[in-house]
Amino acid sequence: MKIVPLFCFLGLSLMQLAIGQEKQISLEEIYDGTFSTEGLEVLRSMDNGKQYSVLNFDRSDRKSTIDLYDYDTQEKVETLVNSADFKDIPFFTSYEFSDDESKVILATEIEPIFRHSRIGIYYVYDVESKELTRISDQKIREPSLSPDGSNVAYVYENNMYILDLETSETIQLTTDGKINSVINGVTDWVYEEEFAFVKAFEWNSDGSKIAFLRFDESEVPEFSMDVIGQELYPSQHRFKYPKAGEDNAVVSLNIYDRKKRETSMADLGNPYYIPRIKWRNHPQHLSVQTLNRHQNELVLYDVNAKNMETSVLLREKDDAYVDIHDNLTFLADDSFIWTSERDGYNHIYLYDEDGELMNQITKGSWEVTNYYGYDQNEDRVYYQSTENGSINRDVYAISSGGEDKMRLTKQEGTNHADFSADFTYFINTFSNAETPPVYTLHMSREGELVKVLEDNGALKNLLKDYQLSPKEFSTININGNELNMWMVKPLDLDPDKKYPLLLFQYSGPGSQQVANRWMGTNDYWHQLLAEKGIVVACVDGRGTGLKGRDFKKVTYQELGKYEVEDQISAAKVLSELPYIDDARTGIWGWSYGGFMSTNCLLKGNDTFEMAVAVAPVTSWRFYDTIYTERYMRTPQENASGYDENSPLNYPELLQGDYLLVHGSGDDNVHVQNTMRMIEALVQANKQFDWAIYPDRNHGIYGGNTRLHLYTMMTDFMIENLLKTDNQ
């Protein structure tokens, strides 16, 4: 057994202080917001680079304002928009400027559709005239101002429209939009979920054209969910959901010419996916990314909007899959910056305007985890990376030639930057396992501190009264790999006694749970479990991220094989510790983590005595095309990869205690997964516990739901991990 300690947060004095306190964390406090952190309201840098705007909301009188602040002094300069000035808007919940900052879109009466999508009533506010214009009498989607603020494009009932704010004329760009059939200008369910965008249209730089995607989902199989609701009869929610191996929507790229009032379709050679479109600086040139169905070949095209001719800028190929990102940045001369894993790690590359590689900007056996932008005046690229260890994040600057690299953040943990428009300043968000988020203003040149904006001092003072166990970071050698791990032990742990072990994990491709950052709600819950006498640990096994391409993609076509092997092996190694009772080992997880915990309990039935699975996938045949086929190809091509790691196919292996939980309104991982698992266990005559939360989605929240769920899981773990307590 080899466990290499890295460091342990919460120093000895803090530990001793905590031991001396009697206050323990309660479930009610975790889920009523007692431990919430303070943050900065969402801010947007103004084009002058000297000021930023913030949406402020006064809860006492439900008034919204958009206020401008000075970066240097942090003083409020002016209130740009105030909902108290409007008769028709009691308050607004988000805002968006036009490129020239002459107008602002204000959002009200927002209703969610899926994870990212929503409909609402939107207004345009003219900053100079202070006039307010309602875009439509109907609830619409994704309104977007033209660069000069003279027009606004939006989607209503799957069709695209443009409102001319000067003439009040509304032009309908498409007429074939139909629910569950054809979509124009916004994405379908699977694009929204897996390619993480909703607005599928873009204005060019002079506002003369709009590029938009059209989805024909008429052949996509329809999924239905019963909505229990409060009425006498339940209703059904029907939507198109392509499961692995089934038909996807047929997607096409169109460009609308405002002057001609004509739409032209680009010939991209029948692309299977179009995950990104982005106009270049030249108003007649559009960049388009396409993917094949296997998602192992990406092509970046240039489309000439004047004659609709296309040319290839670059190709990305991988034996497994190519990840989609938002790091494409066109410079003034239309050369561009791109990130890629082509050398085995995610790094930044510079190409000329025709797609010829100029140079690789960053290099090393570490990952670029965020690209912030390029300051053309200073020739500096700003990015975030794991150069200081895969569980940490720091902010760096480097020249486009790969020289003069500078680390701009100094504290070890997780740093994230938000730069001003001219890159003079950045606001850094820092946290680690012992420090709640601290927001600081810095000069970008050397990273020097200007001012502390928020340090969550109130939360730190509050937590002094609680018993908190340190989160100990280390690495553990499992199946020939040094895996990152954290562990939380009972504060009063007696090395001569035996304690149960609970593993927490997610384990999905490219994910990370072992990270040096502040606690989330699950971390507080793990503290509560440690207070009760359970050792909680987390190991990021093979397939997780930020340790290079090969480590991440080893699970290709075998989801649930190597990840399960690593969790079982980790549990065995940890059970050799003198204070761990190898007869009381549990594991839990949510979504992919629920898939993992279920598999571990079955395949590792000689290792695990208990598992909790929340909203688990139980067969990848039930999950969507884009995510599943990226890692598994189709069931028709890889039947064994799908079935050999599906817990539906070996329910007879269940020996331990098993709790299975799902929301019946889960549009992502359908409750079908849990129902089929229930049926398999019933037919195998295996006893287990289960719960269904009516109409709750993948997050299983709302009202008292989260408290109820975690109370149930806590009771289940106490009963099944502490019931044979022989301490």
Cβ atoms of residues 421 and 444 within 8 Å: no
Average pLDDT over residues 295-323: 97
229-234 long-range contacts (CB < 8 A, ≥24 apart) are: 229/695
Give the catalytic positions in this structure: 591, 666, 698
How long a stretch of residues is the chain?
727
User: 34-49, pLDDT tens digit by residue?
Assistant: 999 998 877 899 999 9
Average pLDDT over residues 247-261: 97
Residue-wise DSSP of 86-136: -SS-S--SEEEE-TTSSEEEEEEEEEE-SSS-EEEEEEEEETTT--EEES-
Q: What pLDDT score was predicted for residue 6?
A: 53
Q: By percentage, how much of the chain surpasses pLDDT 70? A: 96
Query: How high does pLDDT run on average in the chain?
Result: 95
User: 542-597, pLDDT tens digit by residue?
Assistant: 999 999 999 999 999 999 999 999 999 999 999 999 999 999 999 999 999 999 99
Q: What pLDDT score was predicted for residue 355?
A: 97
Q: What pLDDT score was predicted for residue 61?
A: 75
The DSSP letter of residue 239 is E
Local confidence band at 11 (pLDDT 50, 70, 90 cut-offs)? very low
Please check the confidence at residue 669 and state whether its pLDDT lies above 60: yes
User: 507-549, pLDDT tens digit by residue?
Assistant: 999 999 999 999 999 999 999 999 999 999 999 999 999 999 9
> In the block, which residue shows the tokens 């599906």?
646
For 675, what's the count of Cα atoms within 13 Å in the CB-facing half-sphere?
9
Alpha carbon separation from 439 to 427, 469, 645 (Å, rounded): 7, 25, 44
Q: What pLDDT score was predicted for residue 4?
A: 59
Average pLDDT over residues 459-487: 97
Helix (H) or strand (E) holding 688: none
Domains for the chain: give ranges and CATH numbers.
479-721 (3.40.50.1820)
Average pLDDT over residues 389-407: 97
